Amino acid sequence: MTGAVHGDFDLSLVWSRRGGLACVVFCTLFASCLSLTLSLPRMYRATATLLVAQAGGVEGSGRLTVTGDLETGLHTITEEILSQTRLGALMDRFNLYPELRSPAGRAAAIERLRADIKVKLKGVESGSTRPTIAFSVSVRGRDPEIVSRVANALASFYVEENLKFRERARLARLRQELAQMQQVYSSQYPDVIRLKMEIETTERQFAGALQVGDGFLPGKLGTPQRWGEAVPGREQEPAELSRRAEFRVLDPAMPPWTAAPDRLRLVLLGVLAAVGATATAVLLAERLDTSFYSCDELRAFTRVPVLAAIPQIVTSADVASPRRWFTAVAVAGGLVGPGPSAFASFGRALKPTSVASGDGLCRPLPE
């Protein structure tokens, strides 16, 4: 015998047989999903928007070249800001990730901060005489006030770093002019004296700014970096572009009101997943069940005429058995539903036990 043929799918009959199983599977999965959703920490993301514009007008095909150079300069500054030295100083400044800031876990904390920072290009406008690039800097974290302050600090880093690049290019140009003047004139020539004084004044101003600034100037600790000198690894930096590009903050970051994850959405997805798993479990139980639940199913299975059916005689043990099974599964709270053997046992607890065959004898139903 291959099994019973249940005929048309009757939802009410299926529910009468598999209602307990459906409730166990749905409640177990939904409770697990709800518990997981409520245990997720709240995360906030603050975003600051910046604009990079060309200081002077550009005509003709030069606009495309300048736009590409602006993107290259933006990428260069981004790499500098996301360096390990910069992120370590930023982490110390705002006391980020205190649980990871042990000597052994500092590298992991820096990598986490780098992953929580997102720099996204929002748009490029190259059609006007002043090519511009808009981009955003966002930071994710558990404290809305802290993430907004960190995002604004990163935005100010872009502006400050661009100013450093421009001043470095300016000083390099002044030194080049001084070297050319010294080849022709003596050190007492007025223009030579003027260039020397201008270089010294500019270096002194920025050296003082470094002592009271954010302390993010590239270079080794304890080694002052002179403005206008080449920074290691930046020999090919577009100095002229750095002098002409302008960075400014369009929209500063504000403490965000919305938090992630979207718990309502996760709960709805959990309900859909629980419903789908419940339907699959019920259909699988019906598929694996070889029991007969009506005389029509038995007639469709065999040619032996059915004279009468003996209804199930329910004892107190039969009533307690499904309840014990239901309680055990609910208490366990596992995500994996009962196997095929449990489905068959649950079905056998509800099926008729015997049927009258054509010879007038009461025989047990086939398994």
Query: Of the ranges 21-35, 52-66, 249-263, 288-302, which one carries the lowest mean pLDDT score?
Result: 52-66
Q: What is the pLDDT of residue 4?
A: 53
Token representation of residue 30: 């939904």
Alpha-carbon distances, residue 46 vs 34, 165, 223, 247, 318 (angstroms): 27, 27, 35, 20, 60
Amino acid of residue 252? P
pLDDT of residue 320: 61
Question: Could you tell me which residue, 127 or 117, shows the higher pLDDT?
Answer: 117
Please say whether the beta carbons of 218 and 168 come within 8 A: no
CB atoms within 10 A of CB 79: 11
Threshold 0.75, pTM exceeds = no
Specify the pLDDT at position 227: 36
Query: Where residue 102 falls among pLDDT bands split at 50, 70, 90?
Result: confident
